[in-house]
Structures are given as structure tokens and as C-alpha cells.
């Protein structure tokens, strides 16, 4: 399998509903909750790509472009954007969808870096 095919097969998409229990006093999704969801999707994407133990080592940047209101759906999309020797980078985007209207818009973008670990919890090659 080529690197491009592996990247394509590992792309991960998850939908969630934004309920009031996950929002702040402005009725928008807590930033920390969004980051938690993004890290989870990034982890799934990295693991699907490598099929190894992966751990988050950094987030380069998370840009909050639009607030995410309660009563909407969000789609989180993770895609591998860089592969190194023992690490890889996953871009995650969160899109907002109204429940009862067409269309969607980008709300948040972030990049997450992961390292592959062997059975001794030491860095190992991402692609074997």
C-alpha cells in the first residue's frame, strides 16, 4: 500500500450533537470540550494509520474560527498531513451543521503530533 493510500484509508470522521451539558454560559461549546474531541479523533486517525500505540506529544495550534452553538451537529475530520520516522501529524477540523438546515461551516482547526511507541514505551518507527 502506498503512503497516499494509507493516509486516505486512515481519514476519520465522527459526528456529534452539541447538547447544553457541553456548553458554557454563552450556549456555545466549551473550548476544552472541543479540544478533547479533537484529540480523540486525532488519536483514532493516527492509530488507524500506523496500527501501533500512539501518544499525543504536542498540539501546534488550534484556531477557533466560529463559536459552536448548542443544538447543532459537529463533524470532526482527522487526516494525516505529515509522516516522520517516529512521529506523525494529524490535522483535525470541526465543522458546524445546523440540525434543520443544509450546509456546514468550518469552526475549528488544529494540528496534533503523535509518536509511535513500542512495547517498552520507547519511540519506534511509525511505518514498519
Q: Which CATH architecture has domain 3-117?
A: Roll (3.10)
Using CA atoms, how far residue 2 sits from 6, 9, 28, 49, 65, in Å, is 6, 11, 41, 12, 34
- Check residue 1 and give its pLDDT: 87
pTM metric for this prediction: 0.95
- Burial-class residue 53 by CB neighbours within 10 Å (0-12, 13-18, 19+): middle
Instruction: Write out residues in the chain with pLDDT < 70, as ranges.
Output: none
Domain boundaries, the chain: 3-117
- Check residue 101 and give its pLDDT: 93
Amino acid at each position: 500500500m502506498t503512503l497516499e493510500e494509507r493516509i486516505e484509508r486512515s481519514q476519520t470522521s465522527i459526528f456529534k450533537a452539541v447538547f447544553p451539558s457541553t456548553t458554557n454560559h454563552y450556549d456555545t461549546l466549551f473550548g476544552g470540550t472541543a479540544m478533547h474531541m479533537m484529540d480523540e479523533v486525532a488519536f483514532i486517525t493516527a492509530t488507524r494509520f500506523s496500527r501501533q500505540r500512539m501518544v499525543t506529544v504536542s498540539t501546534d495550534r488550534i484556531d477557533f474560527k466560529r463559536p459552536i452553538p448548542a443544538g447543532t451537529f459537529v463533524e470532526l475530520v482527522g487526516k494525516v498531513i505529515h509522516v516522520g520516522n517516529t512521529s506523525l501529524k494529524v490535522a483535525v477540523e470541526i465543522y458546524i451543521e445546523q440540525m434543520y438546515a443544509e450546509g456546514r461551516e468550518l469552526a475549528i482547526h488544529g494540528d496534533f503530533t503523535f509518536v509511535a511507541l513500542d512495547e517498552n514505551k520507547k519511540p519506534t518507527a511509525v511505518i514498519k
